[in-house]
Every structure is written in structure tokens, then in C-alpha cells.
Amino acid sequence: MNRNDYEWKLENEWLQEVLKEARKQFDENRDFKERFKKDAIETQKELWQDIGAVSITNGLEQIADFMSFIGTMKIQKRSHELTRKLEEKYERMLLSPYFARMDFVERGEEKAQKCYIGISNLINDNFDFLVYDWRAPISSMFYDYEIGEANYKCPEGIIDGKLTLKRQYKINNGEIEYMFNSNLKIDDEILQDILSKSTDNKMKAIVTTIQREQNKVIRNEEYKNLVVQGPAGSGKTSVALHRIAYLLYKHRDKITAQNIVIFSPNDIFNDYISSVLPQLGEDNMSQTTFQEYMHRALGGEFMKEGYCEMMEYILVSKNELPYQKRISNIKFKSSMEFIDILKQYVTYLEKMDRNFTDIIFRDNLIISSKDLKELFFTDYVQLPLKRRLQKIRERILFLMEPYEKQRIEEVAGELEDSGAYINKAEIMERSEVIVKKEMKDIYYEINKMTEFDLVDIYRQLFEKLELFSRNSNTEYGEKDIEEIKSYTLENLKAQKLNYEDQPPLLYLKGALGDIPKTSEIKYVIIDEAQDYTPLQYEIFYQLFKDSNITMLGDLNQSINPFMNLGDYKNISHIFPRNNTCIINLTKSYRSTMEITKFSRKLLHKAITDECVERSGDKPLLLGFTNEEAIKERLLEDIKIYKGKGYKSIGIITRTVKEADEVYSFLKDKVHVKAIMKDDDEYVCDTLVIPAYLAKGLEFDVVLIYNAGNENYCCEEERLLLYTACTRALHILCIYYSGECTPLLKEAAF
Ligand SMILES: Nc1ncnc2c1ncn2[C@@H]1O[C@H](COP(=O)(O)OP(=O)(O)OP(=O)(O)O)[C@@H](O)[C@H]1O
């Protein structure tokens, strides 16, 4: 559109009007903010003047005054916080108040309503919407419809009408850089422009170009549980974060960011996504990883293997003796059958006779074994095992208390009579020690009957494994079960908890009532959903039964060949079907067409998903005689691509061990960092990283280190290599030494 154009003039006038209003509100808000700040300082001053020193005579009164001051200060803090957030909103608006406009003629009306859409609402004193928040009901039409018939859903019902114009803007520093009418899909110039840019190490908001299928996921509230399957780069993580922003807007009177938790694959990823919500004007939700949650819940007992250690084992220990044993253990403990076995075991524990005995103290029957059984099997039967045992313990101690007191008094009398002590306090102290000693055996009995040792409970499951596996519909034969049993018992004896043993322990802990319910979490987001096993889903389901859960994944990116979801059917066995829905995203946005096509060939199956029409260099597959030669070429290429202006370069290795070698070679020659652990910080734009830690991330340039046939040698590594290739936005180079992996043969030739 020409700058001298009439439309351009009108748009500029409108922009000035909007900016004027935003500036006015910014100033008013700043006055409020200053006032709250002043008030808070005054309150603090008054607090110290009025009740600086609490005197003995009127201490209570002063404490009441103090509490009232604290109440006032809390309100002032909240108001100050609110004005601070509003200030940020106006600052953002003054730079770029909106990114789109649509003209909508409501059915029965003649005139079109101009709706400008931005990151947040801007409403003037007459309650006119100068800008609509992108999450407002009316704004959904921008993402859902082209020019023509359109409608949107709002609390009053469905509003029908016609879209007569759709326009997009790029406004920077309060000035329109460009604008154009986008009568078709949003898959146009702006999208192309955004996708062709270089990326740094933080994820960006996509609010200006959300696609229709993505919008469906963002706003879907029909189902409690949503499963979103989408190919690499289809925007699953972006959609998840925009969904959170949407929910925070839609339910702003009911929920805050603290009511939402996202489970990410690792801390690197958490860091990578952490700036999206602030860009959208929202506070970040709680971020965690399954491992972090699990380790916190399981406590410090035993040596716990981490996910990375397990991945490293799977990738580098193929020639070690117990490798196959361990792999069958991982497979077994990740199977649907094992969930069945665990469930049977929980029922068994709840029904099992616990050898209750009579509790007798100095010939007094405190409680009989019959009564204890009655409590366990009847009175407390509704409670989970841990709570039942706890209640029984409390009951015995309660019944014992009068006998214990009486006995202490008796002993105190005897000590007093003996004349050995004069001091009353000393006598009482001594008597308590004597009685405690007398009761040692009883306490031992009580502890034995009511103890809850989780690892021991787990060990007992394996001691009796054949009992449960016989009843479950398992493909594992007697010999397999015997092997799994002995391998697990050996590890437990050595106080080692392999990663695959930890989810079952967590499950038992929850099912037996040893995890407090987390009622404040209303929405749970599980990203990279393909990498959780059915048992982990069972745990999510049990932990967050009352919450809404959104799971986003891509089965083709299952980086762990033995511990993954396997099939979405497995989720539908766990989550109730009537409120769970699967949605497919079908288009990839991250990579150029050349990279997407190349990577998809690696999958070895027909893929109908689309990809965005962005062209770039063909992926390169380069052979070398040895690894040293690869490293030399890597160094050269890093310099070349940096020189070309690419901001982020990922050198993706298969393992941490390899990453370490490559990093050692590069570190003194070029500015580079390495990620070796799942909680390393993602700080540099040129990064050496093992493939399984790079999942979810993206780089302008991906350089894959040694895809030789000795490295990526088997079918199980196909998806890992695919995941690595799909991290690239613009450039993909694959280096190999010796023969190229057979996995790449079809993709390359
Ligand atoms: N509608 C969109 N507009 C602009 N960019 C988009 C859009 N959707 C996705 N993208 C971009 O595509 C890239 C991939 O997005 P994202 O990481 O969310 O995908 P993903 O499906 O989670 O990927 P993966 O499964 O491969 O990790 C990001 O750079 C994101 O900004």
C-alpha cells in the first residue's frame, strides 16, 4: 500500500488516537502507582512510630494494631503490583498497540464495526474498545475466518455476521512500518517474514499469526482433557503457551498463573519457553519436569538415576553384559501390563492381613488384635493404606496415653519415696525416661504393625511378582519374569533406583495415600507428551483428577525407544473417553520445505502433513574419513554460518560423551558452550548438545555430528535422529565418518 494513500492517512490518524488514549491511561496509571508507593512508605513510617517497641503493659493491643497495619500493607502491595503490571501493558501498547484489524458487520446491522486486535484491551472512558485483546471472543474471528460469513461465540450466544476486511500491521515504536490486507489465510507475507528470521535462544510469541487449527486448540474448552498430536514444528509448544495465556484471560476472576503447571522435558526447555507469557503480558505459570516432581515426592532415599543418565546408558552401553536385562526391565516397567500388576498389588496390600497383635501394657489390654483388624478392615477401609495405618497408630497412642501417664506418676512417686531426688522437675524427667524404656517393646510392635516403607513395599512386589503377573494378561513368560525379578531385587539390595523404577514407586506412593492432593492446580500442560509412559499418564491422572489436562506430543519424536507412550490409545485407556478429545495439528512451520521433506523421508512412512512454503538450502550430507576431520569441518562451518549472520547454531551429538569430545575440540577455537545435563543453562547461541536434550528446541543452523553407521546403527535410533534433524529452521548439515547410517540412505538418495 502506498504511503500517500488515503487509507494510509486514515490508519495513521487512528493510530495517533489510540496512542493518545494509551499515553493518557499510562500517565493516570503512573499517578496511581506513585500514590500507592507513597501510601506504602507512609504506612511503614506510621507502623514504626506507633508500635516501634512493644511494651509489656499494652502488648496485645499493639499486636492487634500491628496485624491491621500488615493488612493495609498487603492491600497496598497488591495495588502497587497491579499498577506495575498495567504500566508494562501501556509501555507495550505505546510501542505497538495492535497488529490487526477486521471489519465485521453483525447480522441485522448496516455498518461495519472496526475491530483492532492487540496484545491487550484498550477501552476509553465511554467504554469503547479502541483495541480488543486477541483473546476476546470477537477476536477469534480473525484467526478462524476469511472474508465473508463469520461468527463468534460469546456469553450472550453466537453472533453471526460478515467479515468485510482483514488487515495486518507491523507497528514499531509507535509507527506503522507496513500494513496490508490479508483477505485469505494468515499464512501469508507476515508468517513468511516471521519464519524466515533468525532465531535466538528464547521462544517467541506467535500471537499475530496464529493459524486456524492452532486457534482451535488454544480456545478449546469443550473437553476436560485434550490430546494434541502434531508433527515437528507444528507449533505445539507455542499453542500450549498461548492456551495458557488464553485461559488466564478468560478465567481471570478465577485463576492465576499459580493455578497452572506445565510439565516440560527438562530445565533447558523451561528456560527456553520462559519469555513467551511475559511477552503476552502474563505471569509465567509454574514450570516443572516429571523428574523434578518425582524426586521431590520420593525424597532423598536411595541413589536415584536421572533421565539423562538412563538415556546415556541406553545409547552407550549396548555392549555391556546386563544391557538386554535392563532393556527388558525398562520395557516391562513401561508397559500397560505393569500398570495392571501395580493396581492388583495395591488391592492386595489393602486386603492383606497385617498380623495385628494385642497391645498389652503391664497386664492391661490397650487394644485387641481383633479390634485393630476391625479398624483396618471396616472403620478405616475407605482410606488409602498409608492413612489407614496412620489412623491406627494414632488410635493406639491415644488409648495408651492414660496408662502411660498413670505409670509415670507411679514411678515418680516411687522415686520421691526413695529420697534420691529432691527436685520435682528432675523426678518427672527421670520417670518419663524410665517409662519410655519400659514401653520400648510396645512401641516397637506398634511401629512394626503400622510402618509404611515405600521401597520395601516395592521390593515385596518383586518378591511375589509371579503371583501378579500370572493374573495379568502379559506377554512375558516365566523366564522373563524371573529375570526382571532378580534384576530389580539386586538393584534394590544395592540401594539403587534406576529411572524406570521411580515412576512405579511414585505410583504406589500416590495410590497408597502418601501424596497430598494438589487442589490449587486447575490446568496441567504436558509438553513432549510422547516421551511419557502409560504409567506416567496414570500418575498424572491420579494426581490431577480434578484438573483440566492438555497433552501435546508427536509420536514420531519418541526419543527413548523403550520408554514412551507408544500409542495414543494408551491415553484413552486411562483418561475417561467422554471428556477426552484428540486434535491433530497438520502443518509444520519451523523448517524450510527442503529440511522438512528430507527429515520426513527419514521416518520411513507416508506423511500427509503439510509444511509451510518456505524455501531454503538443501540439507547437506558430508562424509569424512574420521571424526577428527569432521571436527575440523565443523569448526569451519560454524565460522561460515556465524559470518552469514545466523544467530543460533546447534551442534547436535548422539550422546553426552560425544558432546564432551566435540566441545573440548571447539572451546578454545570459537565462542561455544555445551549442554551436558538437563539442568544446564541455555546461554549461548552456539551450542553443543546431545540430541535427547535438544528436543523441543530449535536453531537456525543444525550441524549433526557423526551420523555414521557405527553411531546411529539401529532402527531404535531412527526417531532420535529425526528429532535432531527437525530442530533446524534454515540450514541442516549432517556429517559422518566412514559409512553413512543406513537410516539416512533413503532420505539422502
Ligand atoms: N502460527 C505460527 N506463526 C508463526 N510461527 C509459528 C506458528 N506456529 C509455529 N510457529 C513457529 O514454528 C516453530 C515451531 O514451533 P513449536 O516449537 O511450538 O512447535 P512444536 O510442534 O512444539 O515443535 P517440536 O515438536 O518439533 O518441538 C517456532 O519457531 C514457532 O515460533
pTM: 0.90
Using alpha carbons, select from 644, 701, 635 the residue that is nearest to residue 671. Answer: 635
Residue with the larger pLDDT of the pair 340 and 417 = 340
Q: Is the dihedral of CA 214, 216, 220, 222 positive or negative?
A: negative
Report the pLDDT averaged over residues 573-578. Answer: 90
> To test the ligand 1 pocket, which listed residue (168, 209, 238, 525) has its Cβ within 8 A of the most ligand atoms?
238
Q: What is the pLDDT of residue 355?
A: 85
Ligand 1 midpoint to CA 231 (Å):
10
> To test the ligand 1 pocket, which listed residue (188, 191, 206, 586) has its Cβ within 8 A of the most ligand atoms?
206
Pairing of β 523-527 and β 548-553: parallel
What tens digit of pLDDT does each residue of 598-609 get? 999 999 887 788
C-alpha span between 375 and 410 (Å, rounded): 31
The partner residues of 365 in beta bridges, in order of sequence, read 360
Number of H helices and E strands in the chain, helices first, is 28, 25
Residue 459, C-alpha cell as written in the block: 521390593
Ligand 1 pocket residue status of 594, Cβ below 6 Å: no
Q: What is the pLDDT of residue 613?
A: 87
The CA-atom distances, in angstroms, between 383 and each of 386, 450, 619, 692 are 8, 14, 60, 41
Asked if residue 179 lies in contact with residue 166, where contact means CB atoms within 8 angstroms, the answer is: no
Is the predicted pLDDT of residue 562 greater than 80, yes or no?
Answer: yes
Q: What is the pLDDT of residue 604?
A: 80
Using alpha carbons, select from 317, 233, 338, 227 the residue that is nearest to residue 556. Answer: 233
Report the pLDDT averaged over residues 592-596. Answer: 95
Using alpha carbons, select from 673, 712, 719, 716 the residue that is nearest to residue 695. Answer: 719
The partner residues of 524 in beta bridges, in order of sequence, read 261, 549
C-alpha span between 74 and 64 (Å, rounded): 15
Residue 136, C-alpha cell as written in the block: 476476546
The CA-atom distances, in angstroms, between 17 and each of 23, 27, 81 are 10, 15, 28
**Which single residue is written with the C-alpha cell 496390600?**
349
To 10 degrees, what angle do helices 323-333 and 478-493 make?
Answer: 100
Residue owning the nearest CA to atom 15 of ligand 1: 235
C-alpha span between 535 and 501 (Å, rounded): 11
**Cα dihedral angle (643, 645, 647, 648), rounded to 10 degrees?**
-60
Asked if residue 675 lies in contact with residue 659, where contact means CB atoms within 8 angstroms, the answer is: yes
Ligand 1 midpoint to CA 200 (Å):
14
Ligand 1 pocket residue status of 359, Cβ below 6 Å: no
Asked if residue 333 lies in contact with residue 504, where contact means CB atoms within 8 angstroms, the answer is: yes
Is the predicted pLDDT of residue 56 greater than 60, yes or no?
Answer: no
To 10 degrees, what angle do helices 454-463 and 478-493 make?
Answer: 150
Q: Which residues are annotated as a binding site for ATP?
A: 230-237
Q: 713: pLDDT confidence band, cut at 50, 70 and 90?
A: confident
Q: 690: pLDDT confidence band, cut at 50, 70 and 90?
A: very high
Using alpha carbons, select from 342, 376, 340 the residue that is nearest to residue 356. Answer: 376
Residue 495 amino acid letter: Q
Using alpha carbons, select from 470, 445, 248 the residue that is nearest to residue 366. Answer: 445
Residue 475, C-alpha cell as written in the block: 506377554
Which range scores top for mean pLDDT: 281-285, 603-607, 710-714?
281-285
Residue 353, C-alpha cell as written in the block: 492381613
Residue owning the nearest CA to atom 9 of ligand 1: 235
Is the predicted pLDDT of residue 270 greater than 70, yes or no?
Answer: yes
Ligand 1 pocket residue status of 118, Cβ below 6 Å: no
Ranges 41-50, 166-175, 504-513: which has the least confidence: 41-50
Ligand 1 midpoint to CA 567 (Å):
23
Q: What is the pLDDT of residue 354?
A: 84
Ligand 1 pocket residue status of 197, Cβ below 6 Å: no
Topology at the third CATH level for domain 217-301+518-587: Rossmann fold (3.40.50)
C-alpha span between 463 and 489 (Å, rounded): 8
C-alpha span between 614 and 209 (Å, rounded): 15
Residue 265, C-alpha cell as written in the block: 522435558
- With 0-12 CB in 10 A as exposed, 13-18 as middle and 19+ as buried, what is 529? buried
Q: What is the pLDDT of residue 25?
A: 97
Three-state SS at 162: strand
The partner residues of 121 in beta bridges, in order of sequence, read none
Residue owning the nearest CA to atom 19 of ligand 1: 235
Residue with the larger pLDDT of the pair 193 and 108 = 108
C-alpha span between 506 and 316 (Å, rounded): 27
What tens digit of pLDDT does each residue of 470-493 get? 766 667 788 888 999 999 999 999
Residue 225 amino acid letter: N
Residue owning the nearest CA to atom 8 of ligand 1: 235
Q: 321: pLDDT confidence band, cut at 50, 70 and 90?
A: confident
Residue owning the nearest CA to atom 1 of ligand 1: 210
Three-state SS for 554-591 is CHHHCCCCCCCCCCCHHHHHHCCHHHEEEEECCEECCC
Residue 108, C-alpha cell as written in the block: 441485522
Residue 73, C-alpha cell as written in the block: 500493607
What tens digit of pLDDT does each residue of 175-234 get? 999 888 876 555 567 788 788 888 777 899 999 999 999 999 999 999 999 999 999 999
Q: Which residues are annotated as a binding site?
A: 230-237
Pairing of β 580-584 and β 260-264: unpaired
What tens digit of pLDDT does each residue of 429-439 get? 899 999 999 99
Q: What is the pLDDT of residue 302?
A: 76
Q: 54: pLDDT confidence band, cut at 50, 70 and 90?
A: low
Residue 250, C-alpha cell as written in the block: 478468560
Mean pLDDT over the full length of the chain = 91
Q: What is the pLDDT of residue 542?
A: 92
The Cβ of residue 405 has, within 10 Å, a number of other Cβ atoms equal to 11
Q: For the domain covering 593-744, report its CATH number.
A: 3.40.50.300
Q: What is the pLDDT of residue 60?
A: 64
Residue 613, C-alpha cell as written in the block: 512454503
C-alpha span between 505 and 490 (Å, rounded): 16
Ligand 1 midpoint to CA 603 (Å):
20
Q: Strand locations in 205-275, DSSP E? A: 225-229, 260-264
Report the pLDDT averaged over residues 232-244. Answer: 97
The partner residues of 68 in beta bridges, in order of sequence, read none
Residue owning the nearest CA to atom 13 of ligand 1: 590
Report the pLDDT averaged over residues 244-255. Answer: 95
Q: Domain limits of the chain? A: 3-95, 100-216, 217-301+518-587, 359-452, 593-744
Ligand 1 pocket residue status of 235, Cβ below 6 Å: yes
Angle at 337 between CA 331 and CA 339, to 5 degrees: 95
Residue partners of 164: CB distance under 8 A and separation at least 6: 103, 104, 105, 112, 147
Angle at 690 between CA 684 and CA 694, to 5 degrees: 65
Please give the DSSP secondary-structure letter assigned to residue 128: -
C-alpha span between 315 and 295 (Å, rounded): 23
Asked if residue 268 lies in contact with residue 678, where contact means CB atoms within 8 angstroms, the answer is: yes
Residue 319 amino acid letter: N
Ligand 1 midpoint to CA 270 (Å):
16
Ligand 1 pocket residue status of 230, Cβ below 6 Å: yes
Pairing of β 359-361 and β 303-304: unpaired
Provide the percentage of residues in the chain whose pLDDT is more than 90: 72
Q: 516: pLDDT confidence band, cut at 50, 70 and 90?
A: confident
The CA-atom distances, in angstroms, between 547 and each of 251, 287, 288 are 14, 16, 16
Provide the percentage of residues in the chain whose pLDDT is more than 70: 95
Ligand 1 midpoint to CA 691 (Å):
18
Ranges 588-592, 677-681, 720-724: which has the least confidence: 677-681
C-alpha span between 357 and 147 (Å, rounded): 79
Q: What is the pLDDT of residue 667?
A: 95
Task: Report the greatest alpha carbon distance in the chain.
Answer: 111
Which range scores top for mean pLDDT: 140-149, 351-360, 419-428, 609-618?
140-149
Asked if residue 487 lies in contact with residue 330, where contact means CB atoms within 8 angstroms, the answer is: no
What tens digit of pLDDT does each residue of 359-417 get? 998 889 999 999 999 999 999 999 999 999 999 999 999 999 999 999 999 999 988 88
Is the predicted pLDDT of residue 749 greater than 80, yes or no?
Answer: no
Strands laid side by side in the 699-704 sheet: 620-624, 728-737, 699-704, 649-653, 686-690, 673-674
